[in-house]
Structure 1
Amino acid sequence: MEIGVPKETKDQEFRVGLSPSSVRVLKENGHNIFVESQAGVGAGFTDEDYRQVGAEIVSTAKNAWNRELVIKVKEPLQPEYQFLQKGQLLFTYLHLAADKALTEHLIDCGVTAIAYETVEVASSTNKLPLLIPMSIIAGRLSVQFGARFLERQQGGRGVLLGGVPGVRSGRVVVLGGGVVGTEAARIAVGMGATVQILDVNVERLSYLETLFGSRVELLYSNSAQVDAVVPEADLLIGAVLVPGRRAPILVSRALVGQMRPGSVIVDVAVDQGGCIETLHATSHTKPTYIEAGVVHYGVPNMPGAVPWTATQALNNSTLPYIVQLANLGMQAMQTNPALAAGVNVQSHRLVHPAVQQVFPDLAP
């Protein structure tokens, strides 16, 4: 099969769909890989690295896109719509619940679009295997970035999360105790912050107690509890995930207005619409804005800040599925239920149930 790897076009997105080591595996399986020139440079991979493992370097995005299977990291942006073709397989993060225009175009053009974030295995652990590696990175980065933007020079209130002897540590409130929330808490605890995690799943809270013990306050999430803890947060992290659907709004505009001036909000759920009413998507070039006196950070591709780590972590999880798609084509969805669950759009139809609920007018 011919596999295309275009260069990412999202603002400061330096990850790449396939690393050279992944290309080597696909070549060993008899496939031809076409990598757009400079696609891997931001992640530390040169064109020569790809040539050495058998890839063909192509000079234009069109030549990378014009293949049976296209592997990306982030969703196609509008200038890339022209490259989508009927019968083509597209495997990437899509997050369609937050992007109706892309959903409509994928339906119209006839591509089969498989979303990393909705590939799902039927087990209690690693249920969303292609979302987990980037969730780990985004969770860890959320505190790293939050600490930075709490600095006075960055618009924050000048709080050191770890505090110092004689001065209280910063307070970090994490909405959601899944992978993102757990990793955010892990870093915040390591920095010496006071940490609270809110979640609606009591079983998950019990599990988190085995991880953190008394170092983290674990609270059942309801509107009253959210109202009580958010105004006291120096750093508020949105870590809510409803697979395939838009994130619910947990923090209202009025509640944001009760936070201290210079507090920081980092909403990792922004790629699914966000769970903070005042937060909208930003970019690595201009990552923050201030509303109601609070610093808002809403970069939807946070792991793009650490592309060397993120590309390899993502490939470790995606490669087995990519090999199946390359070896079997459309039949891969029939033999692997996890891949079948990842299909969002196929044969001019929106097929993923969760996305159908978001856009009922697009459902067949």
Structure 2
Amino acid sequence: ILVGGISGFGVTGGAHRLWTHRSYKAKLPLRIILIMSFSASGQNPLFDWVRDHRVHHKYSETDADPHNANRGFFFAHVGWLMMKKHPEVIRRGKMIFMEDILSDPVVIFHQKYFWPMKMILCFILPTLIPIFLWNESWTNSILSMCFVRVCCGLNFTWLVNSAAHIWGNRPYDKRIMPAENPTVSFLAMGEGWHNYHHVFPWDYKAGELGNYSGYTLNITTLLIDLFSLIGWAYDMKSPDTEFIRKILLRSKLHPAKDILAPVAHYLGTKTESINPKILKNNVQCVWSVSEAVQPSKRRPHSKFPNRSKSHHLPYRPASCSNNPNSTSDTTAS
């Protein structure tokens, strides 16, 4: 359970809330802890994880969504990892904003040594520590650490893509599939408040009720808050209560209208300075400042180390329209 929680925090607090959504900032020691914890989870490389999740938010429940829940529970849960990606997923993934990830030396190191880190931190060390420290049998250690723990951890993460997009209520935006699912939140360390998360993807709590106890059990928020006490986590972003109340009221009275997330509140700037093309579309695709501010010219990315030629991509953010067939693009700063 302890190792599962540590690796789970690498996924929820690291890959998801920090690197994908930039909902808070982390100093180097915390980023190292998070990348090691993520390596222990047995998931795909962080770069791929972040890219796929950003595409998911921008084109949720379309052909460009890597785990489109409209294709059924099994596909959204694990089937998408067992088959070739839809051409729209590949096309949009090549255009998604990834400059922030490419500039992080921790991510670069993880990408370069992904397989050694995964084998050592996910399988070898978790298996050997019980054997040598408290004389656990090889059979029990391998079964519990290499099979049960990894299998449960992966499925708890996948439930956010499947169950939390199918079952639950939708108080913040009734037009989208992501839903509030307490069971998923319990299993995924606070990640199940998914309707809220898709409306406010930049909230570091990933849920309006960021409590640590009761049915919310947002363990990820608790750990981020603890690291903030020593200054390793800082600049945690969260909307004020009054704005959330207005969003709830608007969703209740006008469920068919667009629900604009409080991008101006997040940026601490005037609405006029925000890219109008983004504001007129569904703002659930905004995961970082660079996707919301006025566009400016920038150079193409240099090649990502240790990736095949097909992955050497000129990353630039696509239009925030949820229509994957749209051809208009915006360039972020």
Given the two structures, how large is their TM-score scaled by the length of structure 1?
A: 0.25
Higher helix fraction (1 or 2): 2
